[in-house]
Amino acid sequence: MSDIVELPDPAGSGPRPAGDARRPATRHLSLPGLGLAVPGIALAALAPAVLPAPGWVVFLAFAAGLALAYAGLARLGRGVFGGSFDLMFWLCLAWLVVVVLAAILAPVLPLGEYRDIAKTIDAPAMAPPSLFSEHPLGTNNFGLDLLARIIHGARASLLVSIGAVAIGMVVGGGIGILAGYFRRLTDTVTGVFTNSLLAVPPLILLIALGTVLEPNLRNIAIALSLLALPSMIRMARASTLTFAQREFVLAAKAMGASRWRVMGRELLPNVLLPLASYGMVIVSVLIVAEASLSFLGLGIQPPDPSWGNMIAEGEGNAFQDYPHIVLVPGVTLFLTVFAFNLIGEKARKRWDPRQAKL
Share of the chain above pLDDT 70, in %: 86
Q: Do 346 and 338 contact (CB within 8 A), yes or no?
A: no
In terms of average pLDDT, the best of 33-42, 94-103, 258-267 is: 94-103
The class of domain 146-356 in CATH terms is: mainly alpha
**CA separation for the pair 226, 204 (Å, rounded):** 12
Mean pLDDT over 54-66 rounds to 77
Please, what is the end-to-end C-alpha distance for the chain in angstroms? 48
State the pLDDT at residue 6: 39
Mean pLDDT over 250-261 rounds to 83
State pLDDT tens for residues 116-141: 888 888 888 888 887 777 888 888 88
Longest dimension (CA), the chain: 93
Would you say residue 159 has pLDDT above 80? yes
Q: Do 275 and 169 contact (CB within 8 A), yes or no?
A: yes
Confidence of residue 350 (pLDDT cuts 50, 70, 90): confident
Share of the chain above pLDDT 90, in %: 21
Confidence of residue 355 (pLDDT cuts 50, 70, 90): low
State pLDDT tens for residues 73-108: 888 888 888 878 888 999 999 999 999 999 999 989
The answer for 344, left when phi > 0, alpha when psi is -120 to 50, beta otherwise, is alpha
Q: Do 113 and 144 contact (CB within 8 A), yes or no?
A: yes
State the pLDDT at residue 53: 59
State the pLDDT at residue 136: 86
Would you say residue 340 has pLDDT above 70? yes
Would you say residue 187 has pLDDT above 50? yes
**CA separation for the pair 280, 124 (Å, rounded):** 39
Q: Mean of the per-residue pLDDT values for the chain? A: 82
CATH 1.10.3720.10 segments of the chain: 146-356
Mean pLDDT over 190-213 rounds to 86
**CA separation for the pair 196, 23 (Å, rounded):** 58
